[in-house]
Structure 1
Amino acid sequence: MTLHDVPWPTEEEHKQGLVSWLNAMPGPVWLTLPGKDVNRHRVVVTLLHGNEQSGVEAFWHFVQNPPVCAVTVHFCIVNIEASLHGAPFTTRHLEHKPDMNRCFGKTGSDPSYALAAELLARINALKPEAVVDIHNTSGTSPAFAVSINDDEKHQQIASLFTERMLCTSVRLGALMEQTSDASPMVTVECGGVKDHNSVEVAKNGLHHFMSAEDLFFNHTGFWPVERLYHPVRVQLKPDLSLCYHDRFVEESDLTLPPDIDRHNFGWMAADSQIGWLGTKGLDAMTTNDGEGKYPISALFYEQDGELRLKHPAKLFMITTKHAIALSDCLFYMVVD
């Protein structure tokens, strides 16, 4: 597996449609759009997850009528194979493959790790002034950015797309964890994969990202950025059972409401019910905040089989996709 340099799509290819063009690609691809200053670079990465298409749809929007780019902009469209598996844009990653956005800065026998290293090496060689990695959440959600760095540059990149930025200590092998002072990297979650405005978030943000003469100098952002600190990743322990239902399901270790994603980014009061626990109780769940400060018992309690919040909290990246909830996480949360 390697990155393939391919030319900008032609008018005829554009007429055939995005899926047709993706089908014609030899694998993960890299495209370059020269700007007014050819010696400066910015990089857009998208489709690391094959079911999160807002970034590649925004790219396709700019194929025929790109903005005047202030600098040379590079697009890397990564997990095309997964995006075309079954119905287009329904597969996060192939079953026998690792999650591509868990491969950066890591080694492994699967070619995905070598591809992640190649992508990162290419970015480092270019020394881009900014990198954005475009994603969607699997549940309904407003847009937000994620960064491991809370400095002004990362905030300003985020502000092109959204008014929220999560500052995380969790390390999973995501691209944005490879950020540097010289080439700041930010993940942008444009909203849910089914949310009608997610593509608009990607298009509007990328237009600014591509056309702005200077992303940082005398730039106060298009949105005032609310920063949320120390997000906690909440997971079900391996090999346990999860069910989505509007009442307790007896054989399940955890039951969550089927519309739990309605709480994405809304503050929830202390004692709010999240779901129902099985016979293992709170021991069915685990947390990761990157610092070991928030064990599951510090965040939740059980009352008559109900899972309840100990403190006011904001939940996000809540998914109702059963497979993603088990393989990735149930949701993230920040505590007031």
Structure 2
Amino acid sequence: MLNVLDHLPAGLLDVPPAELHRVLPGPTLIHLPGRRSQPLFASVLLHGNEDTGWEALRVFLREHGARELPRAFSVFIGNVAAAGRRRRFLEGQPDYNRIWTDVPGTEHLPERAMTREVLDRMRALDVFASVDIHNNTGLNPHYACVRRLDPRFLQLATLFSRTVVYYRKPDGVQAEAFSDWCPAVTAECGQPGQPHGVEHAADFLRACLNLAEIPSHPVAGHDIDLYHTVAIVKVPDEASVGLEPDADIRLTADLDHLNFRELPANTVLARLRPGSGARLRVYDENGRDVADRYLRVVDDEIRTAVPVMPSMFTLNVTAIRQDCLGYLMERPGTPAALVGAAEAATE
């Protein structure tokens, strides 16, 4: 299933994301040489409708031309079939960013065998660091995500943005797998189709490739805004959702404008159709239902029960069904405080 190359095919950088399926037989790993032998690994198009990563690669590699790269560079171009349809993933496919570890139900999928092969190949090359480039559907700032509070991870993350999110769920993501043996960062580049996102991602790749090493000392507190994702918000399959007046869960029209804003308790997120019995489901990092901790229903309105900060809240019903409504975050007092909390949680 995996196509492996040691060069850029002629004309590949001229191909837009929606046409890649015409020139690549499927998911493709491309190894490019550089002065430093430890490769930077970058994945793009794990979600076929998130094209900023591929566009950034096109910009960066075109600009670099035939000159030797400062570091070896391994590029994984993911779900080209879904990119051809501008979909996150196609019917019958798994989510390509949920198959990098053995999540129950994915162990025997051919796509999981493919990611195992990618991981084995990169481990054999002693990968330097991993970058996974994404877009999102809501209105969010550009931010970086890490699975570990290792100073090297945070140093790499702040090369992209001073806004950094530490998270432990969902499982099976690319950054989770690579975090076992190199610094790994997910770069969230806003919505697709925005030139600023492409430029920002290209600058990040350029900065990563030019690193001789990743600093291991802590990031200064004034150089990072650190958040901790504490819960994921989902819509039950049986409940209708959207902006329509007759939806079981009618979302507020400005829901996606609430991302990365400190919301006070009693903020209205949605209105319930009377008699529907619908509710939002909220799960913490251990998969426990914690809806009552964060939400309450008053006069058929779903409101925040405590102050929270959302991320990735979206009005896109397809995204809600395929993934989630969004996430809830808390801001630690200091990065050190969050490190201590994370260590205590694993004891």
TM-score class, shorter: 0.7 to 0.9
DSSP-derived class of the 1:58 partner: helix
Report the Cα distance in structure 1 between the residues aligned to 2:229 and 2:139, rounded to whole angstroms.
22
DSSP-derived class of the 2:135 partner: strand
Runs of 4+ in 1 over 6 A off after TM superposition: none
> 1:115: how far off?
1.5
Residues 280 and 167 (structure 1), Cα distance of their counterparts in 2 relative to 1, 3 Å cut: farther
Report the Cα distance in structure 1 between the residues aligned to 2:185 and 2:308, rounded to whole angstroms.
24
Residues 5 and 13 (structure 1), Cα distance of their counterparts in 2 relative to 1, 3 Å cut: closer
Q: How does 1:149-228 map to 2 (within 5 A)?
A: 149-180=148-179, 182-216=181-215, 224-228=223-227
Report the Cα distance in structure 2 between the residues aligned to 1:13 and 1:292, rounded to whole angstroms.
42
Aligned residue type for 2:88: R
Question: Residue 308 of structure 1 aligns with which residue?
Answer: 303
Q: TM-score, normalised by structure 2?
A: 0.85
With 66-75 and 169-178 compared, the bigger mean Cα shift is at 66-75
Aligned residue type for 1:36: R
Residues 146 and 130 (structure 1), Cα distance of their counterparts in 2 relative to 1, 3 Å cut: same
Residues 55 and 152 (structure 1), Cα distance of their counterparts in 2 relative to 1, 3 Å cut: same
> 1:3: how far off?
3.1
Would the aligned equivalents of 1:157 and 1:215 in 2 still touch at CA under 8 Å? yes
With 305-314 and 292-301 compared, the bigger mean Cα shift is at 292-301
Residues 282 and 234 (structure 1), Cα distance of their counterparts in 2 relative to 1, 3 Å cut: farther
Gaps of 5+ in 1: none
Aligned residue type for 2:231: V
Cα offsets for 1:288-310 (capped at 9, x unmatched): 22235661011011111111111
Cα offsets for 1:146-170 (capped at 9, x unmatched): 2221110110111111112211122
Q: How does 1:86-97 map to 2 (within 5 A)?
A: 90-97=86-93
Would the aligned equivalents of 1:237 and 1:286 in 2 still touch at CA under 8 Å? yes
Aligned residue type for 2:61: V
Aligned residue type for 2:100: F
Report the Cα distance in structure 2 between the residues aligned to 1:171 and 1:326, rounded to whole angstroms.
15
CA RMSD across the alignment: 2.5
Paired-residue identity, %: 26
Question: Residue 7 of structure 1 aligns with which residue?
Answer: 7
Report the Cα distance in structure 2 between the residues aligned to 1:170 and 1:236, rounded to whole angstroms.
17
Question: Residue 76 of structure 1 aligns with which residue?
Answer: 76
Report the Cα distance in structure 2 between the residues aligned to 1:178 and 1:193, rounded to whole angstroms.
25
Would the aligned equivalents of 1:169 and 1:289 in 2 still touch at CA under 8 Å? no
> 1:96: how far off?
1.3
Cα offsets for 1:116-150 (capped at 9, x unmatched): 22222222222212101111112221111222211
Cα offsets for 1:224-274 (capped at 9, x unmatched): 2221124310001222211224xxx24x22111243211121111211111
Residue 274 of structure 1: which of 269, 276, 283 is its match? 269
Gaps of 5+ in 2: 332-347
Q: TM-score, normalised by structure 1?
A: 0.88
Would the aligned equivalents of 1:276 and 1:305 in 2 still touch at CA under 8 Å? yes
